[in-house]
């Protein structure tokens, strides 16, 4: 096999697997996928999708059924924000080439269904992937993930079919992945390597004498490496979401606990005047910066007030988050309209759309109020050191 081509043929006893590497916003990839399925007439088609992403591609109106309040109450605010950030980045790339992100995957699935060919969704659930990436990385790497997502919101990189053709070449993609792995090896292992192994397992075990598998070109080298590995026999470890370890749980309480101890000790042993100043500084720093973050997100005045009141309390309890309260308040006072729900995926393409759509504005309030409270927490620590 030549690793520099878009199409790889894998021969197993009595079976042939045709692995197609694609670019997710390329018309050339769409045409190639349809041509291969038509000419090869496979028994089964495998695509790099999970059930959630497949339904999202099939149904543009999925956001209309979103219960934003319930999503925030159930702790889905961060996931929704991350998901929309990825949608925004891919959609802006697609607008430049005139191809909807994931169009080749949907084309493959649709062709399979129309021709009575068995279809397999071989990728891992996206929520599992994102939660594993978050839970299995340290604090510093999490900041890098957030920065990457935020930069992706407003990236204006121009890309055309010529550039996409270059990116589909394995050598170029390997270079990009290796560079990513050097900066964020734990994240690259989860977003790329784990899914390579996961999809290789599902493709290898898919029934049929001839199977066409459609995946992003970045996954092709890893899938080929994993294909004959014994590690493919059991992938249950890739489907679990790790619980925070004891150290992680303890460290979450470390700063709030230390702050409470300082206040108690300061009351009995320190300068009570300075203690009152420190308490005022704590409230002012956490509350004000959270309120400013909410204002940056164009939150309602009552939402801004909620941020100021809730931040000093929530920063002392790791199980609570100011974004929970500000997000619910914003969604209750300025509920999304039908138009907002219908145009979420279109509005996330521009900065104006993010702030103008009431759905995404709630998520921005959730994020920026939390960011402000965290910044205020570290700023207030400076005053606490002066209590004694």
Predicted confidence (pLDDT) per residue in 328-345, tens digit: 999 999 988 877 777 776
What is the arithmetic mean of pLDDT over 171-194?
A: 60
Q: In the block, which residue shows the tokens 């090896």?
A: 185
| DSSP-based three-state secondary structure for 16 | strand
All residues at 6 or more sequence positions from 31 whose CB lies less than 8 Å from its CB, including other chains:
none
* Separation of CA 359 from chain center: 17
Q: How far apart are CA 109 and CA 121, in angstroms?
A: 9
pLDDT for 273 beyond 80 = no
In 3D space, the residue among 9, 158, 152, 32 whose CA is nearest the CA of residue 97 turns out to be: 158
Tell me which range, 98-112, 171-185, 279-293, is most confidently predicted by mean pLDDT: 279-293
The CB density around residue 223, as the number of other CB atoms within 10 Å, is 26
pLDDT for 202 beyond 90 = yes
pLDDT-based confidence at residue 296 (cuts at 50, 70, 90): very high
Which tokens belong to 118?
Answer: 């068995």
pLDDT for 278 beyond 80 = no
Q: What is the mean pLDDT of the chain?
A: 77
Q: Tell me, what's the pLDDT at 25?
A: 65
Q: Among 82-86, 218-222, 302-306, whose mean pLDDT is lowest?
A: 82-86
Q: How far apart are CA 271 and CA 261, in angstroms?
A: 15
Q: Give strand pairing partners of 10.
A: 17
pLDDT for 47 beyond 90 = yes
Give 30's Cβ-side CA count (13 Å radius). Answer: 17
| DSSP-based three-state secondary structure for 77 | helix
pTM of the full structure? 0.67
Q: Tell me, what's the pLDDT at 158?
A: 55
Bigger pLDDT: 3 or 307? Answer: 307
* Separation of CA 40 from chain center: 35
The CB density around residue 10, as the number of other CB atoms within 10 Å, is 18
> Quick one: DSSP state of residue 205?
T
Q: How far apart are CA 349 and CA 286, in angstroms?
A: 32
pLDDT for 200 beyond 80 = yes
pLDDT for 182 beyond 60 = no
Q: In the chain, at which residue ranges do the beta strands (DSSP E only) sit?
A: 7-12, 15-22, 44-47, 118-121, 210-216
Q: How far apart are CA 85 and CA 66, in angstroms?
A: 17
Q: Among 126-135, 210-219, 321-330, whose mean pLDDT is lowest?
A: 126-135
Bigger pLDDT: 297 or 318? Answer: 297
In 3D space, the residue among 171, 192, 165, 167 whose CA is nearest the CA of residue 181 turns out to be: 192
Predicted confidence (pLDDT) per residue in 73-111, tens digit: 777 676 677 667 666 655 555 555 455 678 889 999 999
What strands lie across the sheet with 7-12, from one edge to the other? 7-12, 15-22, 210-216, 44-47, 118-121
Q: How far apart are CA 353 and CA 345, in angstroms?
A: 10
Q: Tell me, what's the pLDDT at 177?
A: 47
* Separation of CA 369 from chain center: 19
> Any idea how long the chain is?
388
* Plot region of 208 (φ>0 → left; ψ -120 to 50 → alpha; else → beta): left
pLDDT-based confidence at residue 377 (cuts at 50, 70, 90): confident
Q: How far apart are CA 103 and CA 188, in angstroms?
A: 24
Q: For strand 15-22 and strand 7-12, is the pairing parallel, antiparallel, or unpaired?
A: antiparallel
105-110, long-range: CB within 8 Å, 24+ apart, which pairs?
105/22, 105/24, 105/47, 105/48, 105/49, 105/57, 105/214, 106/57, 106/58, 107/30, 107/33, 107/34, 108/33, 108/34, 108/37, 108/45, 108/47, 108/212, 108/214, 109/45, 109/47, 109/49, 109/54, 109/57
Predicted confidence (pLDDT) per residue in 223-261, tens digit: 998 887 766 678 888 888 877 655 556 666 666 666 776
The CB density around residue 214, as the number of other CB atoms within 10 Å, is 27
Most distant CA pair in the chain, distance: 83
Predicted confidence (pLDDT) per residue in 116-129, tens digit: 999 999 999 888 88
Inter-residue contact 18 to 212 (CB < 8 Å)? yes
């Amino acid at each position: 096999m030549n690793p520099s081509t878009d199409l790889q043929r894998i021969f197993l006893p009595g079976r042939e697997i045709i692995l197609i590497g694609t670019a997710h916003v390329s018309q050339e990839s769409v045409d190639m996928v349809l041509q291969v399925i038509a000419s090869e007439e496979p028994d089964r088609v495998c695509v790099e999708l999970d059930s959630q992403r497949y339904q999202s591609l099939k149904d543009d109106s999925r956001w209309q059924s979103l219960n934003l309040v319930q999503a925030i109450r159930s702790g889905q605010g961060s996931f929704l924000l991350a998901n929309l950030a990825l949608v925004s980045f891919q959609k802006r790339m697609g607008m430049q080439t005139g191809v909807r992100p994931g169009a080749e995957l949907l084309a493959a699935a649709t062709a399979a269904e129309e021709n009575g060919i068995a279809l397999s969704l071989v990728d891992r659930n996206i929520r599992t992937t994102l939660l594993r990436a978050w839970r299995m990385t340290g604090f510093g790497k999490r900041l890098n993930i957030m920065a990457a997502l935020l930069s992706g919101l407003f990236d204006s990189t121009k890309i055309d079919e010529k550039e996409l053709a270059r990116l589909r070449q394995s050598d170029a993609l390997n270079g990009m992945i290796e560079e990513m792995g050097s900066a964020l090896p734990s994240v690259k292992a989860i977003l790329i390597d784990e899914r390579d192994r996961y999809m290789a397992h599902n493709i290898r075990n898919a029934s049929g004498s001839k199977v066409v598998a459609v995946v992003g070109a970045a996954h092709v080298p890893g899938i080929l490496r994993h294909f004959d590995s014994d590690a493919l026999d059991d992938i249950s470890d890739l489907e679990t979401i790790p619980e925070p370890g004891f150290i992680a749980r303890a460290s979450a309480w470390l700063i709030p606990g230390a702050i409470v101890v300082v206040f108690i000790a300061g009351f009995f042993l320190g300068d009570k005047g300075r203690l009152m100043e420190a308490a005022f500084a704590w409230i002012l720093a956490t509350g004000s910066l959270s309120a400013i973050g909410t204002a940056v997100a164009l939150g309602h005045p009552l939402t801004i007030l909620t941020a100021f009141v809730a931040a000093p309390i929530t920063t002392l309890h790791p199980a609570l988050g100011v974004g929970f309260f500000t997000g619910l308040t914003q969604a209750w006072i300025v509920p999304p309209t039908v138009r907002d729900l219908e145009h979420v995926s279109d509005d996330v393409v521009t900065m104006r759309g993010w702030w103008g759509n009431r759905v995404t504005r709630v998520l921005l309030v959730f994020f920026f109020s939390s960011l402000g409270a965290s910044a205020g927490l570290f700023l207030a620590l400076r005053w606490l050191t002066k209590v004694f």
